[in-house]
Amino acid sequence: MKGHYKRRNCKCDPKKKCFCGGKTWTFWVDIGPDPKSGERRQESRGGFKTKKDAEDAVSAIINNVKQGTFIKESDILFKDFATQWLPMYIDRTCPKPGTIRLRKYGINKLLPYLAHIKLKNVSEEMFQDALDDLKAKNLSKSTLEGILATGKMIFDMAVHKKLIREDPAKKAYIKKDPKIIKETDEEDHKNLDEDLPNYFEKEELKSFLDAAKKNGLFMDDLIFTLLAYTGMRVGELVVLKWKDIDFNKRTVRINKSYYNENNNIAKYELVLPKTEKSKRKIMVSSLVIEMLKKHKEEQERIIVRLGDSYNNKGFIFTNVKIHHGLPILTKLVENRMKRLLRLANLNTKLSPHSLRHTHTSLLAAAGVELEDIKDRLGHFDDEITRKIYLHITDPVKREASDKFDNFMESA
């Protein structure tokens, strides 16, 4: 197994000194027969400044071939392999529809940079430059992390399939923004709470729920009371079924969520919660249980009236005008909430998710421990939950400090 060497576009005698100037060396070397077809295979690379550099590269290849570690890199383009990778990824991991959408988004964001480049020619610098440029376009941190994760999975699979030798995305990262402290002689009037999510104060929540009771449309009172009293996500609420309610033990079981990319009532999907800890049972008040019982009776009358046109799948919150019996859209809940906020003269920037934050804040104010709150919420909003909890419990900490000061002064 020997290599053949030549200067590209050089017509000088290969046994004598080259007078063309600056020509690089290229090698060709046999790497053994193709394991499937038995046909002869060759490896060729160029760009070597000296023949010695080319010979060293050939020696390394021959050694890898003998040890069975040589990989014949593919000429497949990034765009073509990304197209092949997605079905393999779906088949291996069975991801939720939303995750598939995120992977497609990540591929589409990388294509302008890598589409027509061969996988084997994508370097670490090339991939990192793509990430840096995407960051410069002010994409959010979570979006960039999703794109990076997609790229890493694509190249990891290419290495696994022995299409490339090394993973150019292995050490890629999202650049952090420098932390700069600006000094000023003027008093900083910045609202220290502005990074907290929006949520209702206790009296505001009472006003909102009162508006839902007095001016709400069908189911509004129950929908917003349940969101406020449990902290569940709106996607979890709209797919609740009657079998998830234990009227005697006063519990609500959460084990699924709602996915509907195009807001088409008939084309919804039931998906698993984001994490295992999102599956949970929540204790609810007698008030909530009584409201659920009343709604169940009302729903049963509707089912009798609509007869066979009601597609009874056991959902609690269902459409009664079209697609009878199918779960309501999360968008419907959002629109209903905006209507009630206007009627109650409250902050119209609040959303159904604000009720989840509100539940967190009121539990903290009531003295519930952080870990218990996280368990009730399903752990998903860990950082947000912690921020709200610390914000609400700050007065308690100040009170403890004051008690210590008073104790020392009285000594």
pLDDT digits (tens, 9 = 90+) for 106-132: 999 999 999 999 998 899 999 999 999
**pLDDT recorded at residue 184:** 46
Q: Whole-model pTM above 0.85?
A: no
Looking only at the bridges linking them, the beta strands covering 280-283 and 251-254 are antiparallel
Say how many CA atoms lie within 13 Å of 78 toward its Cβ: 28
Other CB atoms within 10 A of residue 46 CB? 13
CA distances from 22 to 54, 58, 68, 272 (A): 15, 21, 35, 62
From-to residues of CATH 1.10.443.10 in the chain? 205-346
For residue 192, the model assigns a pLDDT of 41
Beta bridge partners of 251: 246, 283
State the helix-helix crossing angle for 330-343 and 352-365, rounded to 10 degrees: 70
Are 358 and 196 in contact by the 8 Å Cβ rule? The answer is: no
CATH 1.10.150.130 location in the chain: 78-160
Inter-helix orientation angle 124-136/97-114, to 10°: 110
Looking up tokens 């991991």 gives 93
pLDDT tens digits for 283-294? 999 999 999 999
What is the C-alpha to C-alpha distance for residues 197 and 364, in angstroms, rounded to an integer? 15
Query: For residue 261, what pLDDT is reported?
Result: 84
Q: 205-346 maps to which CATH number? A: 1.10.443.10
Residue type, 397: K
Widest distance between CA atoms in the chain: 102
The DSSP code for 193 is T
What is the number of residues in the chain? 411
Of 7-21, 120-134, 344-358, give the lowest mean pLDDT range: 7-21
Query: What whole-number percentage of the chain has pLDDT above 70?
Result: 84
Confidence of residue 275 (pLDDT cuts 50, 70, 90): confident
% the chain with pLDDT above 90: 54
pLDDT of residue 179: 60
SS3 (DSSP) at 123 = coil
Torsion sign over Cα 250, 233, 334, 391: positive
Which tokens belong to 381? 């909003």
pLDDT value at residue 292: 98
Q: How far apart are CA 162 and CA 70, in angstroms?
A: 9
* C-alpha to C-alpha distance for 337 and 223, rounded to whole angstroms: 10
- Give residue 59's identity as a one-letter amino acid code: S
Predicted confidence (pLDDT) per residue in 196-217, tens digit: 678 899 999 999 999 999 999 9
Q: Which CATH architecture has domain 78-160?
A: Orthogonal Bundle (1.10)
Highest mean pLDDT among 90-104, 181-195, 285-299, 348-362: 285-299
The mean pLDDT value of the chain amounts to 85
Residue 95 has pLDDT above 70, yes or no: yes
